[in-house]
Amino acid sequence: MTEQPIREALDAAGRVPSEQDLDTLSRQLNRPVRDVVEIGARCVCGNPLVATTAPRLSSGIPFPTTYYLTHPVITAAVSRLEAAGLMNEMNERLAAEAPLASAYAAAHDSYLANRDAIGERSGTGAVPEIAGVSAGGMPTRVKCLHVLVGHALAAGEGVNPLGDEALQAIAEWWTKDKCFCVGAWDTEGQAPSQDRSRHVKTQEKVDPAIKRAERAAKRAAREAAQNSGEQK
């Protein structure tokens, strides 16, 4: 990986999540948020657009997807692009256009540099299990546009070429110079405080290698438990 400067849209003060930000994130996602250490990007009105999660969860699990798009207007717009097949088009272009491929590879490196910095700041430190693993399909594929848009918003323009393109493509539904928050989520009553989302569809599947390692660890634990007669 080449050395990449840390690129962040918000300054240190802007990144600090307030109680109100966390409440808003829970409302935007309709579930309580956990392990959010910073805000990655904000609406012109100040509301969060992107939640930043530490590279290791408080449960100890390594977490490669640092930036999570939370604003319902943006997530819905990006879902429309995915449904329209934009990812296939991007993948074809990545295979055919060398300058795009190299800019996208640089975005992957930049993502990792940002994540290292977030790990430092949040006290997680290095997370060797996910070294070199970013998200969204980077560095060579596009598997989740939400991840790329989250990165583009958190890093600012000019870092993730395909995230920037996706933002352009949703301009009829959302642009960063205007507030689209009114009515976008339920602001009445209590914020979701119980996890009602056992089967929440995540934006990014965990890297298969990590999944395999986790399954192997679980299997080993199960077998150890069986051998010791604690469990059937």
Q: Give the binding site for Zn ion (CB under 5 A).
A: 43, 45, 47, 179, 181
9/54 with CB nearer Zn ion: 9
88 CB-contact burial (10 Å; exposed 0-12 / middle 13-18 / buried 19+): exposed
Sequence-separated (6 or more) residues with CB below 8 Å from residue 143? 87, 136, 137, 204, 205
Write down the least CB distance from residue 28 to Zn ion, Å. 11
Structure tokens at 12: 């240190």
Q: How far is the CB of 42 from Zn ion (least distance, A)?
A: 8
Least separation in angstroms between CB 184 and Zn ion = 8
Query: Cβ of residue 89: shortest distance to Zn ion, in angstroms?
Result: 30
CB nearer Zn ion, residue 27 or residue 108: 27
- CA 27 to CA 70: how far, in whole Å? 9
- Helix, strand and coil content of the chain, in percent to the nearest 5, comes to 45, 10, 45
Residue whose CB is less far from Zn ion, 47 or 53: 47
Report in angstroms how near the CB of residue 171 gets to Zn ion at its nearest. Answer: 16
Q: Which is nearer to Zn ion, 78 or 118 (CB)?
A: 78
Length of the chain in residues, anyone? 232
SS (HEC) of 8-60 = CCCCHHHHCCCHHHHHHHHHHHCCCCCCEEEEEEECCCCCEEEEEECCECCCC
Could you count the other beta carbons within 10 Å of the beta carbon of residue 172? 8
Comparison of 43 and 112: residue with beta carbon closer to Zn ion: 43
The residue (of 73 and 127) whose beta carbon lies closer to Zn ion is: 73
Choice between 46 and 156, CB closer to Zn ion = 46
Which tokens hold the place of 187? 């602001």
| Parallel, antiparallel or unpaired: strands 48-53 and 67-69 | antiparallel
Compute the least distance from the CB of residue 137 to Zn ion, in Å.
29
* Distance of closest approach, residue 74 Cβ to Zn ion, in angstroms: 11
